[in-house]
Chain A
Amino acid sequence: MTGIPGVARVRANLTLRRINVTLAQADGALHNVLAELENIGHPSRLIDSADLSAEAKDETEVALLKAVAVSGFGAMNVMLLSVAIWSGASDATRDSFHLISGIIALPIVLYAARFFFVSAWGALRRASMNMDVPIALAIALALALSLFETLRGGEDVFFDAAVTLTFFLLIGRYLDYRMRGKARSAMTGLQRLAVREAWEVTPEGKLRTVAADAIRPGMVLRIPAGERIPVDLRITSGASDLDRSLLTGESAPVAVAAGDVVEAGALNLTGPVDAMALRPVEDSFLAMSMRMLAGAEESRSTYVRIADRAAQLYAPLIHLVAFATFVGWLLATGDWHRAAFVAISVLIVTCPCALALAVPVAHVVASSRLMAEGVLIKEGSALERLATATRAIWDKTGTLTDGSPVLAEGLGTAPGSHAAATLAAHSAHPVARCIAAAYPAPAMPVLEIREHPGYGVEGLIDGRLARLGRPSWVADIAGEMTQGDGPAFAFVGEQMQRFPLRETLREGAAEAVVALRVAGLPSEILSGDAPAAVARVAAQLEIQNTQAGLTPQNKVTRLQDLLAQGERPLMVGDGLNDTAALAAAHVSMSPASATEAGRAAADFVFLREGLDAVPLALSVARRTAAIVRQNFGLAIAYNCIAVPLAIAGHVTPLFAAIAMSGSSIAVVANSLRLNRRRMTPSAPRLQEVTV
């Protein structure tokens, strides 16, 4: 690449699948670089500066990693000294060891555990409880008590407990963060597939590229066949067919001509059109859907994660137990110091170390498991919500079906069929392609082929004019319309022939619907398409509940009704018309082929072609939920043993260290079991994401 003139430096990042190019001049020949990449088989796109800054801003992950390293260093050194004390160091040696431990532990805990202190303080200020409140309290009190004991020359100090606690808890916190960051960067990778630039026709009649967000109303844009419409616009010249399936759920292409208004996001299929931009990107249909999405998302923010629910129960309980212990010992012995010591050791022992690790570790294992299977997760709570779903709601076009049509009855052997296939071979329209593909014989000789965007193809076959395309247009030469579905074909003055179409189901759709029904999730279709098309798909999949012709708002209303009835719907959809519904549902999934907005709204994005990703994700989510429950069980069992001992005053620093590490390791080991069983014999690879 450095051979290309104007390129100063190139560096590829294989992990991010991104190439870093430094140009010799600011306005250097970037298109040469892109053309060369295309040439060697790596078609690429420019990355948005907004995506990059979103990545760079996330410095918490690095800060957490540093804190893990620092507390790990501290834990090791303090442990070394503690082991020496446990194995019999006494008197002056013990006191000086305590002092050194304190000198090491104090700055390290203040540095590394600041995340817990900040979070706990935030929760207390809002007068609420989270898992960090007991953690921060235990760490702070352990430190304070140990300092006091050290200065007094006491026997037992808990510096090791404070540092190892911090270390273990930070590992959990880091894993939690990292999982979210990982999913996010995968999303940015996918988002690069969307429209970023367009062709502007300058007043002098020249073509130049403009970034999508630099388009202003009144600009004239040229939309070549095969590209997406970047903003809402009015067509000024040319005619074409548009695929609006991602916007409305309609599967059939729509013909447009000069004067028609078109929404951003539609795909131009057949002919190039010139059009005037009506609105800037941020006011276009796409952006408005985004705003609707933001409204729908608010309704879901009420979900409380399982760890926080546990904390709300657990935290007040252990504070109460510790306080009761303090009062009990004070009444029984009258010794302030002894009572405080025992109460603090209760707090240290009950510190929710295993509890704080239980959820993130299980989620990290499950998400890396799903990622290897081609399913990306946005955040941990999505797994919890998926595990409790009670109903599956499907979008039709692009989700249950793969969006491309096939002939319902085949072409037949009528002489007209051969001619129709011949004409169809000269068009790029998806319907024409499927007609051409349905007839195996070689094409007939044909003259004066002309494609009329928005209408169809015509040509001379055996000296006779023939047309394939829109029925009303074909009727102009056939003389009379024939009733039926789908595109028409006729020779001049002859009987018109019709080709009914149907959609192909996405791979694994039938199996997925059955698997979900077995798992207790009845299916339902909510589609924006015509009732007949929806009924055909529903009959193939044996789904009874269907609703057709819905607007995006109708879909949201239906989901809200279900939620109000206490159902927890899983929404699977891909189009812009599903975006708000995806956000309103209890949990949602969308295929990688979905619109950018759809992928952003969904909790899960599957990169594989087949719909088997849906039951797969469900089964992983349910097993994760089971593992999380077991982890909580382990943590509770540990507390049942440790707490009575602590209350009785038998907890030494050695005991605390062993018990806490033991319970944490048990929880991690249990979570790793998620990785063990093979789900599918053939795990498909992650689909290539373009750089």
Chain B
Amino acid sequence: MNILHLLIPVTLVMGLTGLGAFFWSLRNRQYEDLEGDAERILHDDNDTPMPPRKETIR
């Protein structure tokens, strides 16, 4: 049963890592332009995203 002392923390850490990754991607606005990202992968030219969370003229 000692294996449980290892396995339960491992599961929790793995789950938390996934959760953290999701929160990170939300905060970094990864879901703002899914269509645009799908198109951009086809272009060779260097196209960097706008700096995050900065007031810009749209």
* A residues whose Cβ falls under 8 Å from a Cβ of B: 9, 11-16, 18-23, 30, 47, 52, 62, 65-66, 69-70, 73, 76-77, 80-81, 93, 100, 104
Q: State the Cβ distance, A342 to closest chain B Cβ, in Å.
A: 31
- Take A15-B35, A100-B8 as given contacts and tell me if A66 and B26 are in contact as well, using a CB distance cutoff of 8 Å: yes
Residues of the B chain whose Cβ atoms lie less than 8 Å from the Cβ of A65: 26
Instruction: Check if A69 sits within 8 Å of B58, measured CB to CB.
Output: no
What 0/1 pattern do residues 17 to 58 of B give for CB contact below 8 A with A? Answer: 011001100100000111110010000000101100000111
With A20-B56, A23-B57 already in contact, the answer to whether A73 and B18 are too (CB < 8 A) is yes
Contacts of A52 in B (CB 8 A): 58
A11 touches B15 (CB 8 A): no
B19 / chain A contacts, CB cutoff of 8 Å: 69-70, 73
Contact of A11 among B11, B22, B35, B49 (CB under 8 A): B49
Kindly state the separation between the CA atoms of A654 and B8 in the bound complex, as whole angstroms: 21
**Residue B3 CB within 8 A of the other chain:** no
Given A9-B50, A21-B58, A47-B58, A15-B36 contact (CB < 8 Å): yes
A13-B33, A14-B36, A15-B36 known; A73 vs B16 contact (CB < 8 Å)? yes
- Residues on B with beta carbons closer than 8 Å to the beta carbon of A47: 58
* B1 within 8 Å of A (CB atoms): yes
Question: Could you tell me the distance in whole angstroms from the C-beta of A431 to the nearest C-beta in chain B?
Answer: 40
Known: A15-B32, A15-B34, A77-B12. A20 touches B23 (CB 8 A): no
Task: Tell me the bound Cα distance from A93 to B5 in angstroms.
Answer: 11
Q: Please name all residues of chain B whose beta carbon is closer than 8 Å to the beta carbon of A22 when the two chains form the complex.
A: 50, 56-57
Q: Give the residues in chain B near A73, CB-CB below 8 Å.
A: 15-16, 18-19
Given A15-B34, A20-B58, A30-B57; 5 other pairs, CB 8 A cutoff: A14-B33, A21-B58, A69-B23, A76-B15, A77-B15
Question: What is the chain B residue whose CB lies nearest that of A93?
Answer: B1
Question: Per a CB cutoff under 8 Å, which of B12, B23, B33, B56 touches A15?
Answer: B33
> Contact check: which of B23, B49, B57 meets A21 at CB < 8 Å?
B57
Write the chain B residue with the least CB distance to A691: B58
Contacts of A104 in B (CB 8 A): 12
- Closest partner residue, chain A, to B1 (CB atom): A93
**Docked pose: A205 CA to B52 CA in angstroms:** 44
Q: Is the interface of B mostly helix, strand, loop or mixed?
A: helix
Nearest-neighbour CB distance to chain A for B34, whole angstroms, equals: 6
Complex interface: chain A residues within 8 A of B47 (CB)? 11
What number of A-B contacts does a CB cutoff of 8 Å give?
A: 56
With known contacts A22-B57, A70-B19, A100-B8, A14–B35 Cβ distance under 8 A = yes
* A14–B36 CA distance with the chains assembled, in angstroms: 5
CA distance A69 to B15 in the complex (A): 11
The CA-CA distance from A224 to B45 in the complex, in Å, is 41
Measured between alpha carbons, how far is A80 from B15 in the docked complex, in Å?
12
Q: In the complex, what residues of B have CB within 8 A of residue A21's CB? A: 56-58
Complex interface: chain B residues within 8 A of A14 (CB): 33, 35-36, 39
Task: Output the residue of A15, A21, A76 with the most chain B CB within 10 A.
Answer: A15
The 3 closest A-B pairs by CB, nearest first: A14-B36, A14-B35, A13-B33
Nearest residue (CB) in A for B9 is: A100
Q: Provide 5 A-B residue pairs closer than 8 Å at the C-beta atoms, listed in order of the A residue.
A: A11-B49, A69-B19, A73-B16, A73-B18, A81-B8
Q: Which residue of A lies closest to B34 (CB)?
A: A15
CB contacts (< 8 Å) of B8 on chain A: these are: 81, 100
Q: For B39, give the chain A residue with the smallest CB separation.
A: A14
Cα distance, A569 to B50, chains bound together (Å) = 48
Query: Is the Cβ of A62 less than 8 Å from the Cβ of B16?
Result: no
Determine how close the nearest CB of chain A comes to the CB of B9; give it in whole angstroms: 10
| B residues near A9, Cβ cutoff 8 Å | 50
Q: How far is the CB of B25 from chain A (nearest CB, A)?
A: 11
CB <8 Å contact, B36 and A62? no
A226 to chain B, nearest CB (A): 26
The distance in angstroms between the C-alpha atoms of A18 and B16, with both chains bound, is: 35
B36 touches A12 (CB 8 A): yes
Q: Do residues A13 and B36 form an inter-chain contact, with CB atoms below 8 A?
A: yes
CB atoms of A11 and B26 under 8 A apart: no
Minimum CB–CB distance for B56 against chain A, Å = 5
Given A13-B32, A14-B39, A80 contacting B50 (CB threshold 8 A): no
Instruction: Compute how far the CA of A47 lies from the CA of B56 in the bound complex, rounded to whole angstroms.
Output: 12
Residues of A within 8 Å of B56, CB to CB, are 20-22
B23 with A66: CB separation less than 8 A: yes
A21 to B36, CA, bound (A): 16
> How far apart are the CA atoms of A39 and B51 in the complex, in Å?
28
Instruction: Report the Cα distance A16→B11, complex, angstroms.
Output: 38
Inter-chain contacts of A23 with B (CB < 8 A): 57
Per the bound structure, the CA–CA distance linking A23 and B55 in Å amounts to 12
How many angstroms between the C-alpha atoms of A73 and B58 in the bound complex? 37
Shortest distance between the CB of A5 and any CB in chain B (Å):
16
B12 to chain A, nearest CB (A): 6
Chain A contacts for B18, CB-based, 8 A: 73
Closest B residue by C-beta to A11: B50
A13 to B32, CA, bound (A): 8
Contacts of B4 in A (CB 8 A): 93
Would you give the shortest CB distance from B41 to chain A, in whole angstroms? 12
Whole-angstrom distance between the Cβ of A69 and the nearest chain B Cβ: 5
**Contacting residues, chain B, for A30 (C-beta < 8 A):** 57
B12: chain A residues within 8 A (beta carbon): 77, 104
Which residues does chain A contribute within 8 Å of B50, judged by CB atoms? 9, 11, 20, 22
